[in-house]
Structure 1
Amino acid sequence: MANLTISDKIYNQLSAQIISGEIKPGQKLEEQEIANQFGVSRTPIREAFRLLHTSGLVESKAHRGVTVIELDIEQLGDMYEALQELEALCARLSAERMTAVERKQIERMHQQSKQAVEEEDVERFAELNDQLHSAIHQGSRNKTLLETIAKMRKRLTLYRQPWLFEKRNRLETSFSEHGELVDAILKGDKDKAFDAMRNHISNTSLGTIDYLMSQKA
C-alpha cells in the first residue's frame, strides 16, 4: 500500500469528522486554524481542501470561504440502490464463472476475516471486505460491470470508512452475510448468490444512512 501524503492524512481525518458530524454542515473551515491544528504549512491544507471539494464534502462560496455541505442522504440512497443491483449481478455471474482457484481464494479471505472479527480489528476487516468484493467483481468476467462498480464504489468511499463498521456495529453481521454469499458462490448457486449480495449491500446502505441521519438529528 502506497504511503499516504500529509495532505491525504489531513483529508482522511477531516472527511471522517465531517461524516461523523463532528464538523457540522455549514461550518467554515479556516485554513490557518487547521494548519496550526496539524502543525503544517497552508500548502497541504489547500490540497486537502481540494480533495474534500472533489469528494463533494465542501464548497467554496464568495465571502464565505470553504464550508461543509449538507450531506445528500437521498442521493446516497439512490447510489446504494443501484450498487446493490450491480453487485448482486456480479455475484450471480461469479457463481457461474469463477474458477476453482478463485473460489478457494474467496473462501480463504472469508476465513481470515473471522479472526479480524474475533479481535475486533476493524481496519483489517475492512481491508479483507474490499478484497472479497473485488474478487467477486473480477469473477464475474464482465468488464463493463467492473468499471461501473469501481466508479460507484469510489464515489462511496467516504461512506465505507473502516470506522463506520464499528460505529454501525456491523462487524459480526457483515461477516455472517459474507458467509452466506461465499457459500452460495462455492456451491455455484447463482440465485442465492444474487440474493445474498443484494441483501448484504442493502443492509450496508441502511446502516450507513441510519448512522448519518442520527448525526444530523
Structure 2
Amino acid sequence: MASLTISDKIYNQLSSAIISGELKPGQKLEEQEIANKYGASRTPIREALRLLHTNGLVESKPHKGVTVIELDIDQLADMYEALAELEALCAGLSAERMTMVERKQLLRLHEQSQHAVESEDVDEFANLNNQIHHAIHQGSRNKTLLETINKLRKRLSLYRQPWLFEKRNRLEASYTEHDELVEAVSKSQKEAAFNAMKNHISNTSMGTLDFLMRQK
C-alpha cells in the first residue's frame, strides 16, 4: 500500500476537523497559518485545500478566500437513503450469485472482525468492515451497481469517522448487524440479506446524522 503524501495527511486532518466541528462553518482557512501548523510548504497545503473543495467541505469566494462550508444534513440524509437501497439490492444479488469460495472468504472476514471487537481495535474493525462490504459488492456481479455504490461511499466516508466506533457497544452492534447480513448471504437468503443490509446502513446513517446535527 502506498504511503500517504503530505497533502493527503493534511487533508485528512483538516477534513476531520471540519466534520467534528473543530473548524466552524464560515471559518477562513489561511494557507500560511496551516503551513505553519503542519510545518509544510504551501504547495501541499494548496493541494489539500483543493481536495477539500472537490469533496464539498470548503468553498472559495472572491475577497473571502477559502472558508468551511455549512454541512448540508438534508443532502447527506438523501445520499444515505439511496445508499441503503443500493447496498441492500447488492446484498440480495450477492446472496444469489456469490461462489462457495467467496462465501467462505466473507465468513472468514466476519470471524476476524469478532477478534477486533473483543480487543476493541477500532482501526482493524473499520478495515474489516470495508472488506466485508467490498466482498458483498463484488459478489453482486453488477458493475453499474458497484460503481454507483463506490461513488456514494466515497462521498459519505468523509462523514463516517471512527467516532461511530468509539464505544464498545457500537462495535458490538455493528458486528451483530454484520452477523445477520453475512449469515443471510452465505445461506443464499436473498430477502433476508436485502433487509439485513438495509437495516445496517440505516443504523449507520442515523448515528452519523445524529452526530453531525449535534455539531451544528
- Shift of residue 167, structure 1, vs aligned partner: 6.9
Q: SS of the counterpart of 1:66? A: strand
Matched residue type, 1:159: Y
Q: Against the structure 1 CA distance between its residues 11 and 169, is the aligned structure 2 distance closer, same or farther, given a 3 Å change threshold? A: farther
- The CA distance in 1 between the partners of 2:140 and 2:207, in whole Å, is 27
Identity of aligned residues (%): 77
- The CA distance in 2 between the partners of 1:162 and 1:127, in whole Å, is 11
Q: Against the structure 1 CA distance between its residues 145 and 76, is the aligned structure 2 distance closer, same or farther, given a 3 Å change threshold? A: same
Q: SS of the counterpart of 1:67? A: strand
The number of aligned residues is: 216
- Shift of residue 2, structure 1, vs aligned partner: 1.5
Q: Are residue 46 (structure 1) and residue 72 (structure 2) matched?
A: no
Which residue of the partner structure matches residue 37 of structure 1?
A: 37
- The CA distance in 1 between the partners of 2:160 and 2:99, in whole Å, is 29
Matched residue type, 2:115: Q
- Shift of residue 144, structure 1, vs aligned partner: 1.1
Q: Against the structure 1 CA distance between its residues 112 and 77, is the aligned structure 2 distance closer, same or farther, given a 3 Å change threshold? A: same
Q: TM-score, normalised by structure 2?
A: 0.97
- Shift of residue 94, structure 1, vs aligned partner: 0.7
- Shift of residue 147, structure 1, vs aligned partner: 1.1
Matched residue type, 1:126: A
Listed as ranges, the matches of 1:1-217 within 5 Å are 1-166=1-166, 170-216=170-216
Please say if residues 164 and 207 of structure 2, whose CA atoms lie closer than 8 Å, have aligned partners that are also in contact.
no
- Shift of residue 49, structure 1, vs aligned partner: 0.4
Q: Unaligned regions of 5+ residues in structure 2, if any? A: none
- Shift of residue 162, structure 1, vs aligned partner: 3.1
- The CA distance in 2 between the partners of 1:169 and 1:31, in whole Å, is 40
Please say if residues 122 and 163 of structure 1, whose CA atoms lie closer than 8 Å, have aligned partners that are also in contact.
no
Q: SS of the counterpart of 1:159? A: coil
Please say if residues 88 and 194 of structure 2, whose CA atoms lie closer than 8 Å, have aligned partners that are also in contact.
yes
- The CA distance in 1 between the partners of 2:80 and 2:29, in whole Å, is 29
- Shift of residue 164, structure 1, vs aligned partner: 3.5
- The CA distance in 2 between the partners of 1:172 and 1:70, in whole Å, is 32
Matched residue type, 2:40: V
Q: Against the structure 1 CA distance between its residues 169 and 160, is the aligned structure 2 distance closer, same or farther, given a 3 Å change threshold? A: farther
- Shift of residue 99, structure 1, vs aligned partner: 0.6
- The CA distance in 2 between the partners of 1:155 and 1:166, in whole Å, is 21
- The CA distance in 1 between the partners of 2:15 and 2:190, in whole Å, is 37
